[in-house]
Amino acid sequence: MKKLIPAMLLLVALSAQADNYRLPKSPAFEEECGSCHMAYPPQMLHADSWRAMMGDLSRHFGSDASLDEKRRVAITDFLVANANGRKTGTTRDAAGKPLLRITETERFKKKHREVAAATFQRTSIKSPANCTACHRQAAAGDYRERSINIPK
Amino acid sequence: MRRALTIAALLFTATAQAETPRDFLTRFEKEAGSAASAERGARFFASKLGGEWSCASCHTEKPMQVGRHARTDKPITPLAPAANAERFTDAAKVDKWFRRNCNDTLNRLCSAQEKADVMAWLLALK
């Protein structure tokens, strides 16, 4: 029991920290992935998910996001090295395939369970992929409660 | 002397690599084998031609202004060279974006003529 209390305190401290992502630097990742959408923190998906996604960029959620091979490999390596699937919950879908959308992860769903589907569709937000609409400091990796401001 | 030569060589390489928007118009016209039409480019830019989007869906019908990605809503800097000096200065970027965006809007690559027409129209925007 004596050992358990510090362990629990540590867990509480860690989960409070977990909404603040330390963003690893990669100019290639920021340029290529950040042109059309926010360059999401690599920690938000499992390495298998990044590998699967980076292997099919010409059909990237309905858009052609194809890259030259050298950059594709470099960005894949960067994402895999910084991935953190463990914290996102189950990393595969019912068919056993790696999850490809951050919004499909258990962590995302749990964190947004109080947000109605209609809220995500507001013209000021448009889609759950648009983190910065509500998480105003998301570009700096800050997803903490106190930085949230849901637009009308 | 050797150093001067190196500097001269470096300068030459740098100028050879930097491209201007006009260079792309020249290149696409040459590839197409005929002159560009800004009027045709304007129509092409605003029309849906097979896909769900036109060029204007993201870049707006007058790309002197900031656009927004049709799906993610992320702001897109102006496409017209008169409004954004960074546009059409890097061949690798120009080729990459024509490849991706033509596939997204037409479900195929653009012809050299289509690219020449769009370039002519973008260059005419002031």
Residues B2-8 have a mean pLDDT of 62
Residues B118-122 have a mean pLDDT of 98
Contact by Cβ (8 Å): B110, B102: yes
B72, B101, B103 ranked by CB distance to A127: nearest: B72
* Interval A75-108: pLDDT, tens: 999 999 999 877 788 889 999 999 999 999 999 9
**B73 touches A at CB < 8 Å:** yes
* Same domain membership, residue A37 and residue A101: yes
Residues B14-40 have a mean pLDDT of 90
Judge if ipTM > 0.95. no
Helix axes A69-82, A47-54, angle to 10 degrees: 170
Asked if the structure places residue B99 within a domain, the reply is: yes
* Interval B46-105: pLDDT, tens: 999 988 999 999 999 999 999 999 988 899 999 999 999 999 999 999 999 999 999 999
Separation between Cα atoms, residue A8 and residue B103, nearest integer Å: 52
Contact by Cβ (8 Å): A39, A29: yes
* Same domain membership, residue A149 and residue A84: no
The domain tally of chain B equals: 1
* Same domain membership, residue A123 and residue A53: no
Angle at A39 between CA A34 and CA A44, to 5 degrees: 160
Separation between Cα atoms, residue B77 and residue B64, nearest integer Å: 9
Handedness of CA A94, A91, A61, A121 (dihedral sign): positive
* Same domain membership, residue A148 and residue A80: no
pLDDT of residue B5: 62
Tokens representing residue B109 in the block: 């690559």
**B47 touches A at CB < 8 Å:** no
Residue B103 C-beta-side C-alpha neighbours within 13 Å: 14
* Same domain membership, residue A92 and residue A145: no
Tokens representing residue A67 in the block: 């890259």
All residues of chain A having their beta carbon less than 8 Å from the beta carbon of residue B101 are 64
In chain A, the residue whose alpha carbon lies closest to the alpha carbon of B101 is: A64
Asked if the structure places residue B6 within a domain, the reply is: no
Separation between Cα atoms, residue A122 and residue B72, nearest integer Å: 13
Asked if the structure places residue A5 within a domain, the reply is: no
Interface size between A and B, measured as CB pairs under 8 A: 38
In CATH, what number is assigned to the domain containing residue B59? 1.10.760.10
pLDDT of residue A142: 95
Domain that includes residue A134, residue range: 112-152
* Same domain membership, residue A122 and residue A61: no
The domain tally of chain A equals: 2
* Same domain membership, residue A95 and residue A46: yes
Angle at A67 between CA A65 and CA A72, to 5 degrees: 115
Phi, psi of A9 (to 5 degrees): -60, -40
Q: Verify whether the Cβ–Cβ distance A36 to B74 is below 8 Å.
A: yes
Q: Verify whether the Cβ–Cβ distance B73 to A66 is below 8 Å.
A: no
* Same domain membership, residue A96 and residue A83: yes
Asked if the structure places residue B12 within a domain, the reply is: no
Count Cβ atoms within 10 A of the Cβ of residue B3 and give its class: 0-12 exposed, 13-18 middle, 19 or more buried: exposed
Below-50 pLDDT ranges, chain A? 16
Q: Verify whether the Cβ–Cβ distance A63 to B73 is below 8 Å.
A: no
State the pLDDT confidence band at B1, using cuts at 50, 70 and 90.
low
Asked if the structure places residue B11 within a domain, the reply is: no
> pTM of the full predicted structure?
0.83
pLDDT of residue B71: 87
Asked if the structure places residue B80 within a domain, the reply is: yes
Count of CB atoms situated within 10 Å of the CB of A54: 20
* Same domain membership, residue A82 and residue A33: yes
**B108 touches A at CB < 8 Å:** no
Asked if the structure places residue A62 within a domain, the reply is: yes
Distances (CA, A) of B125 to A4, A39, A41, B55: 69, 31, 38, 15
Asked if the structure places residue B95 within a domain, the reply is: yes
* Same domain membership, residue A95 and residue A54: yes
Asked if the structure places residue A42 within a domain, the reply is: yes
Domain that includes residue B70, residue range: 19-124
Residue B94 C-beta-side C-alpha neighbours within 13 Å: 23
pLDDT of residue A83: 95
